[in-house]
């Protein structure tokens, strides 16, 4: 299987965020892309999110929007171009040739300090009045555009391994962009039959962006995995739970913390501060890496968490339940909601508390926690949940196995009545 993987960054996030200090070990989407072992443009691409600074616009295969940061962050402007760019690179045929940076793009690069040389002006008066100059080096002025070189690279390296599977990964509006891409590919001649796998982290479209092509998925999506932030309460940060076609395999669950906690922000308030809550980001990353590798992506520097480490991470989350719930009083927008609203693919609304898919587990952290526990403690699990009767001695022995390692989970399990043999 020749898998092509697309990484869609979230609002305000870009391909350099694997080094962003707001995240414990780098923001998830850019870190996954940075750890892809294949060839960029041949096996994978990463696309900067709306409102992230337009640094990547000169590399787009379609006319760039160069939208303002405000329009990008508030309205998501630029994500339609992101979808068209991703489709163009995947197909590898048509592109908008770019042989020179526009004046706007040069200004963006200077302000971001990307590809910029700083030189002192000559003369004391000139330096005092005008300061140093900033020149964008390695300009695009060339007979062969970057897009033409990338296309030739694709033609050569994909010759004997055409793409027969597309993986799409995204966070926030990047997660919703995964939905948009899948629907765009379904309408692309010659590509509607290609299977698409999606891994979405807290897919939040933003107010007024719950259009059909963002909340509903077709039969070309064969596997859908989504993880939602259980303790996010900011108004305007309602996620979408898309409708899926019959036959689509799916795994949907929640993780403690806020919107950014899932992708590696370990601070107490889910924004900035001392790194404290590592578990949600670590387990989410491990899940993403596992699914992507099963789907054919080649990654290095993966976490490779053992099930013992996963259970230990969930134990830490249970022990910090009250601290995670305290995050609900913090908001990105200044306004909060009592329970998080979620938009469904049929256009209706629920809250996490009233959604059978997203409602909180009473014993375990989430569905994944439940499954890992069941695999490691099958006898006790069967007894606890009414599938098997054990003797008092067996129950005592099983509980001893977990009491020391997982004390918070142990307290919850002990409250469940067990029918003895």
Same domain, 254 and 390: no
Segment 136-141 mean pLDDT: 50
| Long-range contacts at 400-403 (CB < 8 A, ≥ 24 apart) | 401/377, 402/377
- Going by their DSSP bridges, the two strands 133-136 and 116-119 should be labelled as antiparallel
Same domain, 259 and 346: yes
pLDDT in tens, 272-298: 878 889 999 999 999 999 999 999 999
Same domain, 24 and 78: yes
Domain enclosing residue 171, as ranges: 3-92+154-354
Same domain, 51 and 129: no
pLDDT at site 394: 84
pLDDT higher than threshold 60 for residue 337 = yes
pLDDT in tens, 401-421: 899 999 999 999 999 988 777
Same domain, 244 and 222: yes
Are 109 and 64 contacting, i.e. CB atoms less than 8 angstroms apart?
no
Same domain, 66 and 207: yes
Residue 149 lies in a domain: no
CA dihedral 171, 174, 180, 185 (to 10 degrees): -90
Segment 260-279 mean pLDDT: 90
SS3 call for 290? helix
Quote the distance between the C-alpha of residue 373 and its chain's center.
25
Same domain, 161 and 108: no
Same domain, 19 and 88: yes
Residue 214 lies in a domain: yes
The CATH number given to whatever domain includes residue 262 is: 3.40.50
pLDDT at site 346: 94
Count of the separate structural domains present in the chain: 3
Query: b vs e for 62-81, b when ≥16 Cβ sit within 10 Å of the residue's Cβ?
Result: bebbbbeeeebbbbbbbbbb
Residue 126 lies in a domain: yes
pLDDT in tens, 178-221: 999 999 999 999 999 999 999 999 999 998 899 999 999 999 99
Please state, as a whole number, how many other Cβ atoms lie within 10 Å of the Cβ of residue 35: 18
Confidence of residue 104 (pLDDT cuts 50, 70, 90): low
Average pLDDT, the chain: 88
Same domain, 328 and 391: no
Residue 251 lies in a domain: yes
d(CA 146, CA 62) in angstroms, rounded, equals 13
Residue 360 lies in a domain: no
Confidence of residue 122 (pLDDT cuts 50, 70, 90): low
Query: b vs e for 392-402, b when ≥16 Cβ sit within 10 Å of the residue's Cβ?
Result: eebbeebeeeb
Residue 409 lies in a domain: yes
Same domain, 180 and 278: yes
Residue 371 lies in a domain: no
Q: Which of 198, 167, 145, 13 is nearest to 90 (CA)?
A: 167
Structure tokens at 311: 């259970």
pLDDT in tens, 13-32: 999 999 998 898 899 999 99
Separation in Å, CA 297 to CA 27, 102, 307, 357: 19, 35, 22, 28
Query: pTM to 2 decimals?
Result: 0.88
Residue 368 lies in a domain: no
Same domain, 7 and 125: no
Same domain, 161 and 239: yes
Residues 6 or more apart in contact with residue 26 via CB below 8 angstroms: 17, 18, 19, 20, 34, 264
Residue holding tokens 């739970």?
241
d(CA 304, CA 59) in angstroms, rounded, equals 33
Please state, as a whole number, how many other Cβ atoms lie within 10 Å of the Cβ of residue 115: 16
């Amino acid at each position: 299987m020749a898998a092509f993987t697309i990484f869609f960054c979230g609002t305000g996030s870009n391909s350099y965020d694997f080094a962003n200090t707001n995240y414990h070990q780098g923001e998830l989407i850019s870190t996954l892309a940075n750890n892809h072992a294949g060839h960029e443009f041949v096996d994978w691409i990463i696309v900067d999110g709306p409102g992230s600074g337009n640094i990547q616009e000169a590399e787009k295969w379609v006319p760039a929007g160069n939208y303002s940061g405000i329009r990008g962050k508030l309205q998501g402007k630029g994500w339609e171009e992101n979808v068209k760019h991703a489709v163009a690179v995947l197909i590898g045929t048509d592109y908008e040739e770019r042989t020179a940076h526009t004046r706007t793009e040069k200004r963006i690069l200077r302000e971001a300090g990307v590809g910029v040389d700083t030189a002192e002006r000559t003369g004391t008066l000139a330096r005092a009045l005008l300061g140093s100059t900033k020149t964008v080096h390695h300009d695009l002025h060339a007979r062969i555009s970057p897009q033409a070189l990338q296309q030739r690279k694709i033609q050569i390296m994909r010759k004997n391994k055409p793409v027969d599977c597309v993986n799409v990964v995204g966070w926030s509006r990047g997660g919703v962009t995964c939905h948009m891409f899948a629907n765009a590919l379904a309408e692309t001649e010659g590509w509607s039959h290609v299977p698409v796998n999606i891994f979405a982290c807290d897919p939040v479209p933003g107010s007024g962006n719950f259009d059909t092509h963002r909340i509903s998925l077709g039969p070309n999506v064969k596997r859908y995995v989504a993880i939602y932030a259980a303790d996010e309460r900011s108004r305007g940060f309602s996620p979408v739970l898309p409708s899926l076609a019959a036959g689509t395999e799916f795994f949907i669950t929640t993780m403690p913390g806020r919107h950014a906690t899932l992708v590696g922000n370990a601070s107490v308030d889910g924004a900035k501060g001392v790194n404290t809550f590592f578990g949600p980001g670590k387990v989410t990353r491990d899940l993403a890496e596992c699914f992507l590798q099963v789907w054919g992506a080649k990654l290095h520097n993966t976490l490779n968490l053992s099930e013992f480490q996963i259970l230990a991470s969930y134990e830490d989350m249970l022990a910090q339940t009250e601290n995670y719930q305290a995050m609900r009083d913090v908001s990105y927008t200044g306004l909060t909601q009592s329970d998080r609203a979620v938009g469904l693919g049929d256009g209706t609304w629920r809250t996490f508390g009233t959604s059978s898919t997203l409602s909180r587990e009473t014993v375990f952290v989430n569905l994944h926690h439940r499954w890992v526990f069941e695999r490691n403690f099958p006898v006790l699990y069967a007894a606890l949940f009414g599938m098997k009767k054990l003797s008092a001695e067996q129950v005592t022995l099983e509980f001893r196995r977990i009491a020391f390692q997982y004390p918070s989970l142990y307290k919850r399990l002990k409250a469940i009545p067990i029918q003895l043999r």
